[in-house]
Structure 1
């Protein structure tokens, strides 16, 4: 079955251009041109990924992302026409999985979509258990589900991949570049600092839900997972 993508942008030319390209690549496309319309379309339909413009009428892309993350982990690629780094970081903090700046090439957008969809799907385990237990955390690796003290905790696909990488290798230090390679599959130039934002989000969720493990920053190197001392 063809994967379904929801495009959200108030510029009709961009919607038409991206729609035509992605349709030719075999995707099924849904469209919305305002923030409120995006929420309405998403509430009544199932999509595999959303391409969400930052600047929208009625509700901004950031607000749309924030509302979606209250009850959905659909992968989100944020579009922004601004060069301001703060907008990109805000989008990641609110739960976006990736971002791309306008103007962009259709081929680049297509590659980003494939990368995000790829990491939102279970990876072959090759005989390794699908369940990973670390202290009071349980990660269901093929279902992208995290439980802390048997209570479900929502993570985006990118957050789950990052936590899973660290949890499978407790105590091992990973550089930002290594984490990019593990999670994105490709090295995105300038994306190393986006890892910091994702890690911050993961830490907040772990702390809020009583995790017995912590993600430590190894300054000048990267990150590692440790068991919290009693």
Structure 2
């Protein structure tokens, strides 16, 4: 099914050229020339992206951008002659993903539309939550829950837990785990530290840390997130 774009622009000559170019890319497009017309056309579940002019006969594209951001995370691009730095900053601050000033090259404009839509597809298909054995990871928030209650984890503990839950029922060697826990300051975590991390993590997620059922030790091989214990 073709992606559908929403264009809010009042320049008739520009509308004609952009509509032709966008449709040639295989996209569908609806056009509004005023904010009033945009209000009547707008349906958040109908469009994959919005392209907004700033200066309109009856208002501002900034206001319509705010309206979209109240209900949607779709890509938003400003396409405008308003090239003052303050305008660009405002557009990005209120939720736009890109800001192109007129005049512009059509090939670059289309390339940036394609890039925004690809990123949006990647974002929408990526998992936002991992759930297993009563543990839930809210990936966008970086939070972990046990039976619905927030767990207080350090950044390294969260990273370790995510590694296990990303590789459920697979044995991970100490070397595999250690390489993933290289911190942002490039300070390598050794085997002794790993043992401490796992022990601390077990106290926070296991019902009986002395007899772990989730993160289990596989003697001589490593650890795994068990689905069967």
Give the TM-score band, short-chain normalised.
Answer: 0.5 to 0.7
How far the C-alpha of 1:99 sits from its partner, in A, is 0.9
- How far has the Cα of 1:40 moved from its partner? 2.2
- Which of 106, 116, 129 does residue 131 from structure 1 map onto? 129
Task: Report the CA distance between 1:66 and its aligned residue.
Answer: 1.0
Partner of 1:172: 184
Tell me which residue corresponds to 1:50: 50
CA contact (8 A) 2:5 2:28 kept: yes
Alignment partner of 1:73 is 2:73: yes
Q: TM-score, normalised by structure 1?
A: 0.56
User: Which runs of 4 or more aligned residues in structure 1 lie more than 4 Å from their structure 2 counterparts after TM superposition?
Assistant: 145-150, 167-171
The structure that has the greater radius of gyration is: 2
1:119 aligned residue: 119
Q: 1:69 to 1:148 in 2, by over 3 A?
A: farther
Preserved contact between residue 75 and residue 116 of structure 2 (Cα < 8 Å): yes
1:66-97 superposed Cα distances (whole Å, 9 cap, x missing partner) = 12111122210011202201111101111001
Q: Counterpart of 2:55 in 1: which secondary structure?
A: coil
Structure 1 spans left out of the alignment, 5+ residues: 140-144, 151-166, 174-230
Q: 2:63 maps to which residue?
A: 63
Structure 2 SS opposite 1:122: helix
1:111-155 Cα offsets, whole Å, 9 max, x none, are 010010011112699xx976369xx9712xxxxx658788xxxxx
Q: Which residue of 2 aligns with 1:153?
A: none
Give the alignment's TM-score, normalised by structure 2.
0.56
In structure 2, what is the Cα distance between the partners aligned to 1:22 and 1:147?
Answer: 37
| Alignment check: 8 A CA contact 1:39 1:68 kept | no
User: What's the secondary structure of 1:6's corresponding residue?
Assistant: strand
Pairwise CA RMSD of aligned residues? 3.5
The match for 2:87 is 87
Q: How many residues align?
A: 150
- Pairing 1:6-17 to 2, within 5 Å after superposition: 6-17=6-17
Question: Helix, strand or coil for the counterpart of 2:29?
Answer: strand
Distance, in Å, in 2 between the alignment partners of 1:124 and 1:74 is 10
Structure 2 residues without counterparts, runs of 5 or longer: 146-161, 164-179, 186-229
In the TM superposition, what are the counterparts of 1:1-230 in structure 2 within 5 Å? 1-43=1-43, 46-122=46-122, 131=129, 138-139=138-139, 172=184
Q: How far 1:28 moved relative to its partner? A: 0.6
Distance 2:124 2:11 in 1: 39
Cα separation, partners in 2 of 1:57 and 1:172, compared to 1, 3 Å: farther
Aligned equivalents of 1:137 and 1:13: distance in 2?
50
